[in-house]
Structure 1
Amino acid sequence: MSHLSSPFTFKSLQLKNRIVMAPMCQYSVEAEDGTPNDWHFVHYVSRAVGGTGLILMEMTSVDPDGRITNNDLGLWSDEHIPHYQRIIKEVHKHGAKIGIQIAHAGRKAEDANPPVGPSNIPVAALLEESKNGELKPPRALTIEEIKVIISQFKDAARRAVQAGFDTIEIHGAHGYLLHQFQSPAINNREDEYGQNLSKFGVEVVQAIRSVIPDDMPLIMRISAIEYIDGGYGVEHAIEMSKQYKEAGVDIFHVSSGGEGPPGSLKPGNYPGYQVPFARSFKQALDIPVIAVGKLDDPRLAEATVANKDADLIAVARGMLRDPYWALHATQSLSRKSSEVSPPEQYKRAF
């Protein structure tokens, strides 16, 4: 059996393999009410049929004004719960587990008027060369508003548990609100949320942890390094993450960048370019990690797990191209046909 197809267990999460579908926004909500529809049902269930061990649903906002666009998913209302239950039930039928990524876009919320953030620094102001002028400038949140958003994360997590998700991922990467608070290039507050850049994230983690089962793993996606000029490095991210771990994060999903137009630090998007970040997190925090970033080649994904650089690998665009990426990867790495477990209806093809 390949390392990639070996089972993984952490707390209550039992996965049949080490393959994760990374969260990717679909911008497909039709009524702009945050409710998943048939597109989302087919999109996620097909990856369960395709052999994925863990499916992470796309960024789902805790607040209507926290969406990137009004066509994004939401979990700010109890009315959303039955629509997610339909997807979860069918995903489970095919042997996959499913989590949901909850977030607030902060200053990146294109349809909010105005968007909000830890400060009033707009995305376009981070680089003089930036031509990204279409985003509205954000308004700095008051402390009272920060407390409300923390409560919104808590309520969304409660709904996720009620819906039946197997795990929850907090989006603390790619320039979303939690990332904005932890970035010294974006957060220029002079109050407690600026003096301690991890305070907002820690309080979000604690609020979520208070309403989810003790044995449910809590995942956080984090940008290990910023690519804007003057952005933070991996040491800063690890120090933030030590505090998140203490607050209740169980697994880190290690990505990078996304906070604004990239500066001179941005490397090429080579296969596996983010794996060293995952390795650093795993070594520094002694905690399971998910590696992500152009890991579409099954041999590279296998090596990442086999070399103990990460416990799980997440595939994004590769699964957009091929809903059955997990089955095909397992087949390409297996020495025996018995190691591949397609649905009964598809066995004749394997």
Structure 2
Amino acid sequence: MNQPRYKIVFDGQLMPETTLETVKENLARLFKSDQARIDSLFSGNPVALKRDLGESEADQYLSALQKAGAKVRKELDQAANLSLVPTDDEVQQATQAETSSMSCPKCGHQQAKANECAACGIIIEKYLARQAQLAEQPQAATTASNASPYAPPQANVAERLPEFGELKVFGVNGRIGRVRYLGWLMAMTLCFIPILGAWIGLTALSSTLGMLVIGLLSIAAIVVSVFIGVQRLHDIGWSGWLLLVHLIPVVGSVFALLMLIIPGTQGANRFGPPPPPNSTSVKILAWLFLLIPISGIVAAIAIPQYQGYAERAAEYQEQ
């Protein structure tokens, strides 16, 4: 018994909590197709993205496209399920018809077997030889000119993305989570502490050299901070250009806090697969980064209290 065959149908609907532009970008990447061809899939008419699939293969296509944000469905492919194997009676009738009559290969005229067509007058044997010769010639130009711009992409959309993205500190591509964002900021701070100590020594020797060094250090710190911040925004699913919000007074401080609170998107988004799990060293650095402001707040509260206590104790002793 023949196994049922399926097709994947798409009518332009999107999965929940997805945007049209994000879905188009994901489909363009999965299909390895141009934007114009992807746009044609969102006309509102049902389009069969893939036909004649087994059940497991259809489920694989269905899962890949749904993860990309396209609300596709699996349907039975009735055309593939039709049996084209002729019965014994059909074979016998066809054999009898072939022995008694023929069809002209050019005009389709039915007639008794002969070397020449009674309707169009061609010599059948020469015509068939000419057609065979033409079929051997390259057909690339004809195929390119006849290609329909509305044909669905034929790329293998079930290709698997990497489970985790590659980590690159010096770059704006990729994603990092909240914990790694704090850990990298702390690591950058610790790296700059001995450099600042060296700068103090250089400043004692030459103020000009010290100014040059501190300028270069400031530029390097800003560049690395931008790299890290853009990757954190990518993890949320936001554009890296939103990092410019930090330049707005008050709003920039609130936005920086949001970058520490909002979690990243689950699974892959338009900026790539999720970041790898956090290592122990990253977690330790993140906690150290959080202890710095906490320690500052405690010190700001405790030091005035201690000074007041010391003053009262001194006054009591004088009395």
Decide: shared fold, TM above 0.5: no
TM-score (norm 2): 0.24
Larger Rg over CA atoms: 2
Query: Which of the pair is proportionally richer in strand?
Result: 1
Q: Which has the higher helix share?
A: 2
